[in-house]
Structure 1
Amino acid sequence: MRLKGKTAIVTGGASGFGRGIVEKFAAEGATVLVADRNGDGAADVADAAGGIHTPMDVAKDADWRALTAQAMDAWGRIDILVNNAGITHLPMPMEEVTEEEFDRVLSVNAKSVYLSARHVVPMMKAAGSGAILNVASTAGVSPRPRLNWYNASKGWMITATKAMAVELAPSGVRVNAINPVAGDTPLLASFMGEDTPETRAKFLSTIPIGRFSTPEDMGNAACFLCSDEASMITGVGLEVDGGRCI
């Protein structure tokens, strides 16, 4: 019960890594608000976790305003924020990624962190405490070819995490990131370009531990970084990658 009595917002919580984080947080005692573009999926996960839910587009300021108001109305405070929602473009030469795809990737992966700070950080600063976790990627540490602008968006997130951490530390707010390697989630096929036994084997050959990451792996790492056990840790990008970045 490391998160007993804590309140937490998890974006992209209806599936994949986000769902794993929601389930771990709930198991450790937190009350969770599950936010996702898939409103029905968010409702299902929240119901199972004993939490609340809302449909939202993390790239829209109005949705962040509404989400923050919902959390404050329900709880009166926000202890934990997990910026997990993310997307990628398909693997291709960097010059072939359309402007529309580029804007979409940066809006969801980067602008969403900025918008979350606009609305949630003031609540945490007023309380004098809080933990923010940004779900970045090994792609921001050791980029893969043909995912150039996705790589760049996650590198932005890692730098934003460090900048947020150093600014918010005097206010009692910690900010960390986790850098997962790809997992068997809805985004896997997009990372690989196609999901075949051959492409899976090629991808797995780059991970020394020899398996994809799981939602449970992300939930465990997120729980530690957002708990009081990590009270001296801020500005860290924790690689949860089976050795991929070595």
Structure 2
Amino acid sequence: MQSLISKLTNTSVIVTGGSRGYGAGIAEAFVKAGARVWITGRDQERLQTTAQNIGAIPFTADVADGYAWDRLMEEVIQHTGRLDVLVNNAGEGVKVCQASDQTDEAIARSLASNLTGAMLGCRRAAAIMQSQRSGLIINIGSACSTHAWPGWSIYSAAKAGLLMFTRCLLTELRPYGVRVTSVLPSWGQTEFTEAVNLPPRDPVILAQCISPSDLGQLIVQTACMPPHLVAEEIKLWPIVQPMIQL
């Protein structure tokens, strides 16, 4: 951890959806590594509590709100003069069911939370990082972007769109020395798993799934890679999860 601290001390980091789950784990890992971290979320009370617990800076915002992104970027640049890392982690299952049972509102919300919000953040971060000629964008996707399961069509489509957007963004920003990475986790020890009624139910198996701290360590290690190297995509599976290729 000491070497990671020396690399990330005083860097500026944004983690969206940072009030809980993977986002909180990622933000805490960056804080422990010496970075100055902003976390975003819609639940102001929960965001404030998490920020206080881990030593981050709270910024209440909906990622689908472009004006909120403008205010966030302005605050970060005002305090640090730069943006070193953006982690687009915010997302939600919204409604997991067959496409025929979806509602127009649920489809729009899923796309806004899981795809559009990250695009809005990337657009602004890309402009800043191009000017700096350095920076790292990490978009947290899902194994759903490359695998098919019944009931997950809308969520999977949004995450698949994020995956392709991230691939294209890397080709655009690479000439400026800016790195862009997709991280695709599967089963996790988060409230998302509970909210969408995902397996596993067995607490012994669940304890072997991806924890917020597991993902946080991976993201920090990715940020500490030599600046002339980029991990295009990282897919993370718990060994206990069946890996069925479809």
TM superposition score normalised by structure 1: 0.89
Identify the range of structure 1 (66-75 vs 46-55) with the bigger mean alpha-carbon deviation. Answer: 46-55
- Structure 1 contact 135–178 (Cα < 8 Å) conserved: yes
Q: Tell me if 1:157 matches 2:153.
A: no
- Structure 2 contact 122–137 (Cα < 8 Å) conserved: no
Tell me how far 1:231 sits from its aligned partner.
4.0
Q: Tell me if 1:82 matches 2:82.
A: no
1:125-171 residue CA offsets vs partner (Å, 9 max, x unmatched): 11110000000011112122111110111111111111111110001
Q: Tell me if 1:3 matches 2:21.
A: no
Tell me how far 1:201 sits from its aligned partner.
4.2
Q: Tell me if 1:125 matches 2:130.
A: yes
Identify the range of structure 1 (171-180 vs 221-230) with the bigger mean alpha-carbon deviation. Answer: 221-230
1:10-62 residue CA offsets vs partner (Å, 9 max, x unmatched): 00000000000011011111110111112222222223333321100000111
Q: Tell me if 1:240 matches 2:245.
A: no
User: For residue 217 of structure 2, what is the aligned residue in structure 1?
Assistant: 220
SS at match of 1:200: coil
1:93-134 residue CA offsets vs partner (Å, 9 max, x unmatched): 111111100000001111012211222211111111000000
- Structure 1 contact 89–147 (Cα < 8 Å) conserved: no
Residue type of the alignment partner of 2:238:
G
Tell me how far 1:189 sits from its aligned partner.
2.2
SS at match of 2:129: helix
Structure 1 distance, partners of 2:227, 2:126, is 19
- Structure 1 contact 14–35 (Cα < 8 Å) conserved: yes
RMSD of the TM alignment (CA)? 2.2
Residue type of the alignment partner of 2:130:
K
Structure 1 distance, partners of 2:216, 2:94, is 25
Aligned pairs for 1:152-191 (under 5 A) are: 152-191=157-196
Tell me how far 1:211 sits from its aligned partner.
2.7
1:164-202 residue CA offsets vs partner (Å, 9 max, x unmatched): 111100011100011111312121123326xxxxx5248
Aligned pairs for 1:20-59 (under 5 A) are: 20-59=25-64
Structure 2 distance, partners of 1:202, 1:147, is 22
1:187-244 residue CA offsets vs partner (Å, 9 max, x unmatched): 1123326xxxxx5248998x9xx8321101110111122224464114x221111255
Number of matched pairs: 237
User: For residue 196 of structure 1, what is the aligned residue in structure 2?
Assistant: none
- Structure 2 contact 115–161 (Cα < 8 Å) conserved: yes
Which ranges in structure 1 are unaligned for 5 or more consecutive residues? 194-198
User: For residue 91 of structure 1, what is the aligned residue in structure 2?
Assistant: 96
- Structure 1 contact 91–190 (Cα < 8 Å) conserved: no
Q: Tell me if 1:139 matches 2:144.
A: yes
SS at match of 2:73: helix
Aligned pairs for 1:66-81 (under 5 A) are: 66-81=71-86
Residue type of the alignment partner of 2:89:
N
Residue type of the alignment partner of 2:92:
I
Tell me how far 1:89 sits from its aligned partner.
3.0
Identify the range of structure 1 (178-187 vs 107-116) with the bigger mean alpha-carbon deviation. Answer: 178-187
Identify the range of structure 1 (27-36 vs 40-49) with the bigger mean alpha-carbon deviation. Answer: 40-49
Residue type of the alignment partner of 1:26:
V
Structure 2 distance, partners of 1:13, 1:175, is 19
SS at match of 2:147: coil
TM superposition score normalised by structure 2: 0.89
